Amino acid sequence: MKALFLVGGMGTRLRPLTNKIPKPMVPIMGKPLLERSILNLKNIGINEVVLSTCYRAQHIQKHFGDGQRFGMRIYHVREDIPLGTGGAIKNTEKYFDDTFLIFNSDILSDINLKELVEYHKKKAADVTIAVTQVDNPSMYGVIEYDENDYAVSFREKPQPEEVTSNFVNAGVYVFEPKVLKEIPGGRVVSVEREVFPKLLEKGYKIAVYKGCSYWIDIGTPEKYLQAHMDIMAGKCRISGLDFSDKGVYRGPGSSIHGSVKIQGPVYIGANVKIEENAIIGPNAIIGNNVHVGQGAKIIGSVIWDDVVVESGAKLVNTIVASNCRIKQGCEHYRTVYAEEDSRLMAI
Ligand code: GTP
């Protein structure tokens, strides 16, 4: 079985974090989300993956190459102009001649993919859409379904008064290749707005799978930060990391002065230097090659790679993109901080 990742979106809602890198490459606990998602597939025996790229495609191409370094076969299909989610799927048609998985690449979930595929077969569906329950469905694609769990209607981002179900599209699908012929080629197509409704109209069977217990899309800074807090609270498991005991992870080559106060859960990457009397945590995620000066405080925050936090600076509920320098004594609360741009978060 093969899998397709849609990785070509502009990630505008996640700016300024996506000014230089595409959204699927943002780090989750120090590793690109897309890498984590691709490696998860190995656990269920999938080792062939197609990446449908567009925005900052080079970045993805450079990181994954042909996949050899990850023990996978990875194919890159690059769009010159964004074709939308449906157009991107159509554009990769030649790679798929059997049942396959499709992922939006901004999703962190504990979905059991093996069970999802078995469910798809059991339901004899042409497409299966994983759905998840959310409090505010009007920000998502709402799906209504019948008593046998087959979809009956789709509403993209409905007004609050139009919401009739709080199950929304989780951005994970199983497709039979025969449905690809129903997607028009060579133009922008949305799978959510155009392809799914058309498939229903034409009588294809679309099953909904409700088996996600944890699900978040990291498409805004608020949700990106929330995802990290959820991992640290043990709500979402990340392979190789367990914060259930308020753990403190220290990467290789890190040097932490004996006077530093660390309050778990905390994740510290490789080659990090933390100087006297700094306060780290709870809920601090520090990337690789970061220098934290004397007396600096980092709480409830995610710091990417190659960052300098000068002495006395304070970061609370803040995200700092790679290569930034936080000046001596500066304080940031609820801020998304990138070199060229920064803004307050709505949390
Ligand atoms: P926003 O600009 O913040 O809405 O983000 P986005 O551009 O990523 O859009 P959205 O979150 O709706 O995309 C869902 C998934 O589809 C993400 O994994 C995107 O990378 C991917 N995607 C969206 N549009 C395209 C496209 O035109 N081409 C390809 N290949 N992928 C896309």
Q: Output the domain CATH number for residue 248.
A: 2.160.10.10
CATH (domain of 72): 3.90.550.10
> Whose alpha carbon is nearest atom 10 of ligand 1?
9
Angle at 29 between CA 221 and CA 114, to 5 degrees: 95
Q: Are residues 204 and 267 in the same domain?
A: no
Residue 8 CA to ligand 1 centre (angstroms): 6
Q: Are residues 183 and 270 in the same domain?
A: no
**Residue 129 bridge partners (DSSP):** 173, 208
- The answer to whether position 146 is within a domain reads yes
- The answer to whether position 235 is within a domain reads no
49, 66, 131, 320, 332 from 328: Cα distances, Å: 45, 43, 46, 15, 12
Q: Are residues 136 and 278 in the same domain?
A: no
Q: Are residues 51 and 118 in the same domain?
A: yes
Provide the domain count of the chain. Answer: 2
Q: Are residues 251 and 174 in the same domain?
A: no
- The answer to whether position 232 is within a domain reads no
Pairing of strands 127-133, 167-175: antiparallel
> Whose alpha carbon is nearest atom 23 of ligand 1?
9
CB atoms inside a 10 Å sphere around CB 30 = 19
DSSP state of 184: P
109, 129, 326 from 342: Cα distances, Å: 28, 36, 12
- The answer to whether position 179 is within a domain reads yes
Q: Are residues 190 and 320 in the same domain?
A: no
Cis-peptide into 184, omega within 30 deg: no
Q: Are residues 33 and 145 in the same domain?
A: yes
- The answer to whether position 305 is within a domain reads yes
Residue 323 CA to ligand 1 centre (angstroms): 25
Which ligand 1 atom is at minimum distance from the Cα of 14? Answer: 3
Q: Are residues 170 and 253 in the same domain?
A: no
Q: Are residues 150 and 274 in the same domain?
A: no
Q: Are residues 144 and 7 in the same domain?
A: yes
What contacts 29, CB < 8 A, 6 or more positions away? 228, 231, 238, 241, 267, 285
Ligand 1 pocket by C-beta < 6 Å: which residues? 6-14, 23, 52, 54, 79, 82-85, 88, 104-106, 219
Q: Are residues 145 and 11 in the same domain?
A: yes
- The answer to whether position 131 is within a domain reads yes
- The answer to whether position 143 is within a domain reads yes
**Which domain-ending residue is among 182, 202, 217?**
217
pLDDT by residue for the chain (347 residues), tens only, comes to 999 999 999 999 999 999 999 999 999 999 999 999 999 999 899 999 999 999 999 999 999 999 999 999 999 999 999 999 999 999 999 999 999 999 999 999 999 999 999 999 999 999 999 999 988 888 888 899 999 999 999 988 878 777 778 889 999 999 999 999 999 998 999 999 999 999 999 999 999 999 888 999 999 999 999 999 999 999 988 887 888 777 899 999 999 999 999 999 999 999 999 999 999 999 999 999 999 999 999 999 999 999 999 999 999 999 999 999 999 999 999 999 998 888 888 87
Identify the active-site residue in 20, 31, 157, 205.
Answer: 157
Q: 157 catalytic, yes or no?
A: yes
- The answer to whether position 231 is within a domain reads no
Q: Are residues 56 and 158 in the same domain?
A: yes
Residue 57 CA to ligand 1 centre (angstroms): 13
b/e 81-117 (16+ beta carbons within 10 angstroms → b): eebbbbbbbbbbeebbeebbbbbbbbbbbebbbeebb
Residue 106 CA to ligand 1 centre (angstroms): 8
Domain holding 178, by residue range, is 2-217
